[in-house]
Amino acid sequence: MVKITEQIKILGSKYTSNFAIDSNNQKQIEQLIYYFMWDKKFSGDLTKGLLLRGSIGSGKSILLKIFSIKEPNLNFNQTKNFLYYSVIDVYMECINGGFQSIENYCKFSNLEESDKWKNTICFDELGVESLTAKNYGNSVNIMEMIIQKRYNNWQNHGQLTHFTTNLTPDEIENSYGERVRSRLAEMCNDICLLGNDRRRV
């Protein structure tokens, strides 16, 4: 564990000089390590994705960027690698490219064993996007649709989805509705990072 956390510190420092492992995130990082190593010491459910919550600047995005890297020194279970997208980029693609672009983030493919991780996506910063967009005059909540579709894929195929967000569970419900809050609670392990904005340190 010590060797792995040291490697995480090195990788984190590549993103920001303020990255640190301390009392605000140490337990959570240990749980993330267990999760990505497919270790039964993980306190949640290894068949679910992750909902990594915390205040602005608490290090959520950096941590999942680190864990998305195929870094051999971390000894992670390679089937736990995943694709990483900013919610803002997803939103803009669906606005500019048409709402059929939503399917790019909802499909499940019967890939070879070594490539199955490509079905897993992390959506970074859920809640920062403009919530609704117009499709032929109708209001569409893009991320709500993606979450609903990927929830169905999780139920039917075990497809994993990860999220980072600044929102609390109540704020998620206010933004996306009770159903999405319930779906996220069912398909994701909820991990909350503590502490203030590290970028202001």
- pLDDT above 70 (res 27): yes
- pLDDT above 80 (res 135): no
Phi, psi of 149 (to 5 degrees): -70, -40
What is the structure's pLDDT at 156?
96
Number of domains in the chain: 1
* Mean pLDDT lowest among 35-39, 46-50, 138-142, 168-172: 138-142
Of the pLDDT bands very low, low, confident and very high (cuts 50, 70, 90), residue 196 is low
Averaged pLDDT score across all residues of the chain: 87
Most confident by average pLDDT, 17-26, 119-128, 139-148: 119-128
Provide the β-strand partners of residue 121.
83, 161
* Mean pLDDT lowest among 16-25, 27-36, 177-186, 191-200: 191-200
What is the structure's pLDDT at 16?
84
**Which long-range CB contacts under 8 A does 15-24 form with residues at least 24 apart?**
15/62, 15/65, 15/66, 16/62, 16/198, 16/199, 18/198, 18/199, 18/201, 19/59, 19/62, 19/198, 20/198, 22/195, 24/58, 24/193, 24/194, 24/195
- 65: domain range? 2-200
Of the pLDDT bands very low, low, confident and very high (cuts 50, 70, 90), residue 138 is low
Residue 136 — left, alpha, or beta (φ > 0 → left; ψ -120 to 50 → alpha)? left
Q: CATH number for the domain including 49?
A: 3.40.50.300
- Residue 124 in 3-state DSSP? strand
Cα separation, 165 vs 16, in Å, equals 19
- pLDDT above 90 (res 124): yes
Total residue count of the chain as it appears in this document:
201
Segment 139-160 shows an average pLDDT of 93
What is the structure's pLDDT at 77?
63
